[in-house]
Chain A
């Protein structure tokens, strides 16, 4: 049997040979890996189909985001949701399984909005296809969406199809310094509902700074920037280059052992930011995608406190980095019979890690 499977059939064979098994891609989000035999997908790589005019591509699960982005860039296209950890070696499969998106998620949507088709090995060790390879498709159940954020608990993805978009002609970056979290939230809400069409809208609570990225024809961006600068005089600055955005996509601000994704809404951002301020540096926070995701970074000692705060606010989180013996889920968990029933339907032998 192949130690390093290089085809979907070989992956299926390895799955069938192990009672407990967990897929591993680029190890950029180690908390995804569960108990059992580690099934490395670094041999299952390559873009199998890409026609720029179709706005779609299909690639094997172990293909790195970096490779995909380079190929798309040559045709002036991109994955608008800014997948995380590209430079660190993240793969397509791990990206979907973790459900983690970067700043670009704000404008056109996240993984769930661009992941259109999948082939995976289910818990019976059989190959299954769902979704399709065209940008529009309503046939059959949408298992691709279901697998987004599923942490590899239902199957091992072997091939994935995505929708892509043309890259903006040009981009401009702005930072907006805010007096406090409450006014930052007001400004985030204003930008989010404005005519300006920001591509990315981030908030760094530690510096009370909003970051904005605008995309489009250069001459139009200049005029829109001018208007935004006039809206908050003296508090808006343009910054050049893509380094800042790349650093964000690698979560370089996050120095703690744990990195946790917490879905949130804009109206709750200032309360969370206040709590983080009270932690005196032990917990760091970054608010992404117009206040829809709070990323938390902290050390092991803070794990229980974070878990409790999330529960207290009926919020849930998922750990991408950092090892917790209780599994990757933090905060509130909804008990439902259907979760177990679907797990059993896709993984009847319970080969993959517990959900």
Chain B
């Protein structure tokens, strides 16, 4: 049957040899791997539509994939299915400085949108840490986040319109170029649907003006709790920083070893606060911020004097994830969310669980929105180590739900957390979601086995860092 795919695309763009398929058998969640039956490389939206219609007609499961950086196993192939690799649909079709939108194909790399908009003083706000390599199609499917979500929201907040081929083969256009629309918000529903509805072939993205200036502060604390208190003080002050990030001692140690970011020696925690906006506003707000931080117990405070120093501060933060790879052959990263006022309690409990189970846990998190990123270190070569780490990860997710938070802030449920979805939603809530899914995909051919519990899991096998992670190109955040 796969042979009939070759009628849709030139033969060299339908890959079936093992050596070619190997590159697609895993994504950012490296513990899982599955070999698909074929990988197709469409170059136009029309070709994607043809392939999806073929899948619907023949009942062949498909997984659309960009750069494969999903941390929840969202682009993990299905054994009996095909992978639709969208990297060649990488055209930025339009940047409109008046309407302040960009029209792009799904394989466009996140950062390239901002690069194209820069000439007009505009940018695309969502900035997942893998933004130099991850693609817009994947950002939309998993509603990716980043360090600026408190102020600017997630990917879904920046997608205004789209053209998609649904899993039924229907080609639909949702939303448009306006920031407002009438009728139910299908764009909002499609964002974060984890590839279960179909494949977006064109997106209209909202662009925002670039901030005129930044004021970036790095503060060192003797305890995580003190850093957490500082976050609460900033939030309660009425300031709305663009970013509020915390790293703990283990994460600092790793970042220091990797990129020599020069964070305050002996810090149990560092806090990064960044204000942004017109110079006059930032000048006035930094006075308020200084007053607030003055009252906290930071033992060292540094202010970035220029963009180079700002980059150095962020370098430590952004390298933390791949840097943890120096401390351990393997690690799992979770992205559960807790109410911000309970961050301190959540971190204390993670610490206790770490001691109890013997797995080291490094913490890096988006403190402004309560989005944790515990990195659970393990050694995949040791019997039972991955399973033990996964069990600890599961306990952390359960804690997030119990506190009134979420099992995922920005990575999505995917393959990894599907068994925890019932912790957040009732059986009936999930049944309704499945009814909605069936409206888009009655045959369950679009990315089956993700988000919903109960499907058979593929084998766990890999040990060690993702090759791109080793190269420092991507990081798990």
Residues of chain A at the chain B interface (Cβ within 8 Å):
51-55, 76, 99, 101, 105, 108-110, 112-113, 122, 126-130, 132-151, 153-154, 165-167, 169, 185, 189, 192-197, 216-217, 219-221, 223-224, 261-267, 289-290, 292-293, 316-318, 329, 334, 336-339, 341-342, 344-346, 348, 355
Listed residue (A52, A329, A338, A339) with the most chain B CB atoms within 10 angstroms of its CB: A338
A129 touches B429 (CB 8 A): yes
Which residue of chain A has its CB nearest to the CB of B144?
A138
Whole-angstrom CA separation of A262 from B180 in the bound complex: 8
B209 touches A141 (CB 8 A): no
Residues of B within 8 A of A223 (CB): 280
Q: Which of B205-259 contact A (CB under 8 A)?
A: 209, 211-212, 232, 235-236, 238-240
Which residue of chain B has its CB nearest to the CB of A262?
B182
Contact of B406 among A99, A132, A146 (CB under 8 A): A132
Range, interface on chain B: 35 or more
Residues of B within 8 A of A344 (CB): 439
Number of A-B contacts (CB under 8 A): 278
A292 touches B184 (CB 8 A): no
Contact of B99 among A53, A113, A154, A267 (CB under 8 A): A267
A346 touches B238 (CB 8 A): no
Residue contacts A-B, CB under 8 angstroms, 20 given: A55-B235, A55-B340, A105-B180, A109-B153, A112-B156, A130-B429, A135-B340, A136-B145, A136-B371, A138-B142, A141-B189, A146-B185, A149-B183, A193-B120, A195-B211, A265-B178, A266-B98, A293-B180, A341-B440, A345-B439
Residues of chain B at the chain A interface (Cβ within 8 Å):
96-101, 120-122, 142-143, 145, 149-151, 153-154, 156-157, 166, 168, 170, 172-173, 176-189, 191-193, 209, 211-212, 232, 235-236, 238-240, 277-278, 280-281, 283-285, 288, 337-341, 366, 369-371, 404-413, 417, 421, 424-426, 428-430, 432-433, 435-440, 451
Residues of B within 8 A of A185 (CB): 98
A166 touches B238 (CB 8 A): yes
Which residue of chain B has its CB nearest to the CB of A144?
B188
**Closest 7 pairs (CB-CB, A-B):** A145-B188, A217-B284, A341-B439, A220-B280, A263-B178, A345-B435, A318-B182
Contact of B180 among A101, A166, A196 (CB under 8 A): A101
The verdict on A345 contacting B168 (CB below 8 Å), with A53-B236, A54-B341, A219-B280 known, is: no
B143 touches A263 (CB 8 A): no
Task: Report B100 CB to chain A, min CB distance, Å.
Answer: 6
A146 touches B100 (CB 8 A): no
The verdict on A267 contacting B340 (CB below 8 Å), with A110-B179, A336-B172 known, is: no
Residues of A within 8 A of B424 (CB): 132, 139-140
A165 touches B280 (CB 8 A): no
Residues of B within 8 A of A142 (CB): 143, 156, 188-189, 191-193
Whole-angstrom CA separation of A223 from B435 in the bound complex: 55
The verdict on A263 contacting B429 (CB below 8 Å), with A138-B408, A138-B411, A145-B188 known, is: no
A138 touches B412 (CB 8 A): yes
A193 touches B185 (CB 8 A): no
Residues of A within 8 A of B173 (CB): 334
Residues of A within 8 A of B183 (CB): 149-151, 316, 318, 329, 355
Task: Report A53 CB to chain B, min CB distance, Å.
Answer: 5
B339 touches A54 (CB 8 A): yes
Whole-angstrom CA separation of A332 from B285 in the bound complex: 46
Whole-angstrom CA separation of A345 from B170 in the bound complex: 17
A146 touches B283 (CB 8 A): no
Contact of B186 among A53, A165, A193, A338 (CB under 8 A): A338
Residues of B within 8 A of A318 (CB): 182-183
Which residue of chain B has its CB nearest to the CB of A223?
B280
Listed residue (A113, A148, A194, A344) with the most chain B CB atoms within 10 angstroms of its CB: A113
Residues of A within 8 A of B426 (CB): 129
Whole-angstrom CA separation of A108 from B208 in the bound complex: 10
B436 touches A141 (CB 8 A): yes
Task: Report A96 CB to chain B, min CB distance, Å.
Answer: 10
The verdict on A338 contacting B166 (CB below 8 Å), with A138-B410, A224-B280 known, is: yes
Residues of A within 8 A of B98 (CB): 185, 189, 265-267
A329 touches B238 (CB 8 A): no
Whole-angstrom CA separation of A265 from B160 in the bound complex: 12
A289 touches B189 (CB 8 A): no
Residues of A within 8 A of B178 (CB): 263-265, 292-293
Residues of B within 8 A of A112 (CB): 156-157, 185, 188
A189 touches B184 (CB 8 A): no
Task: Report A308 CB to chain B, min CB distance, Å.
Answer: 17
Residues of B within 8 A of A265 (CB): 98-99, 101, 176-178
A220 touches B278 (CB 8 A): yes
Which residue of chain A has its CB nearest to the CB of B434?
A345
Residues of B within 8 A of A127 (CB): 428
Which residue of chain B has its CB nearest to the CB of A128?
B432
Residues of B within 8 A of A53 (CB): 232, 235-236, 340-341
Residues of A within 8 A of B277 (CB): 197, 216
Whole-angstrom CA separation of A76 from B239 in the bound complex: 11
Residues of B within 8 A of A197 (CB): 209, 277-278, 281
> A112-B157, A126-B428, A224-B280 provided; 4 other pairs, C-beta below 8 A?
A110-B180, A132-B406, A136-B154, A137-B337
Contact of A129 among B185, B240, B404, B425 (CB under 8 A): B425
Whole-angstrom CA separation of A185 from B238 in the bound complex: 33
Residues of A within 8 A of B100 (CB): 192-193, 266
Residues of A within 8 A of B181 (CB): 99, 149, 263, 316
Whole-angstrom CA separation of A143 from B190 in the bound complex: 10
A149 touches B182 (CB 8 A): yes
Contact of B97 among A134, A189, A221 (CB under 8 A): A189
Task: Report A159 CB to chain B, min CB distance, Å.
Answer: 13
Task: Report A292 CB to chain B, min CB distance, Å.
Answer: 4
B278 touches A289 (CB 8 A): no
Which residue of chain A has its CB nearest to the CB of B420?
A139
Whole-angstrom CA separation of A156 from B434 in the bound complex: 20
A138 touches B192 (CB 8 A): yes
B192 touches A141 (CB 8 A): yes
Task: Report A89 CB to chain B, min CB distance, Å.
Answer: 23
Contact of A219 among B284, B337, B425, B428 (CB under 8 A): B284
Residues of B within 8 A of A262 (CB): 182
Whole-angstrom CA separation of A143 from B371 in the bound complex: 21
Residues of B within 8 A of A266 (CB): 98-100
Task: Report A81 CB to chain B, min CB distance, Å.
Answer: 10
Which residue of chain A has its CB nearest to the CB of B207?
A193
Residues of B within 8 A of A346 (CB): 432, 435-436
